[in-house]
Amino acid sequence: MHNKENGCKKVVIIGLGNPLLADDSVGLWAVDELTSILKDRESNISFSKNYSGGIDLIYEFQGFKKAILIDSILTENPQPGKVHELNMDFLNNIANSRIVDSHGVNLSTVIATAKKCNYEMPEDIVIYAIEGLDFTNFCEEPSLEVKEGLKEAVRLTIEKLKEWNCIDNILPENLDVKPVEIHH
């Protein structure tokens, strides 16, 4: 087991989404999967579900040095299940564009507001955005394609935790590997 002495800082993994809207629920499902894999392995990792993705994320970040967010995304040319790794530099570059944000407030605005109000924010924030297609139908499960992306987001999260020196070399056998598109 890793600990602070081995380099792991406090990490929060936050799944975002609406549990009743098909593909929008994928971040919540991912956190459930990660919780079942990692819950007994590391005390410096916390798990959270957030149903709004709005300004209340400020409170979810408090006390953590690093954060991983897992959410769904709808792109111009959807490829359901495709996973994008986003970082704050990328989000800050697109913050002023007219991007529709179903959460009401985009993450860049949340971070800027927190800093302006002197809240301590994580030094590293990574976002795994899983492309979806169905964001309007009531269904408590994401589509099959998006579930495949969920597996990839879980794998990438575990890899990031290894990179941050937070967990040993573990990976569930039933997770398939797919290419990921990284945006910096």
Say how far apart CA 73 and CA 100 lie, in whole Å: 11
Q: What is the pLDDT of residues 147-162, one digit of tens each?
A: 899 999 999 999 999 9
Q: What is the pLDDT of residues 53-112, one digit of tens each?
A: 788 889 999 999 999 999 998 888 889 999 999 887 777 665 554 444 555 677 788 888
Asked whether 81 and 153 are in contact (CB, 8 A), the reply is no
> Whole-model pTM?
0.83
DSSP state for residue 1 in the 8-state scheme = -
B/e letters for 68-82, b = 16+ CB within 10 Å, e = fewer, are bbbbbbbeeeeebbb
* Beta-strand relationship, 124-131 and 83-87: antiparallel
Domains of the chain, first to last: 4-183 (3.40.50.1450)
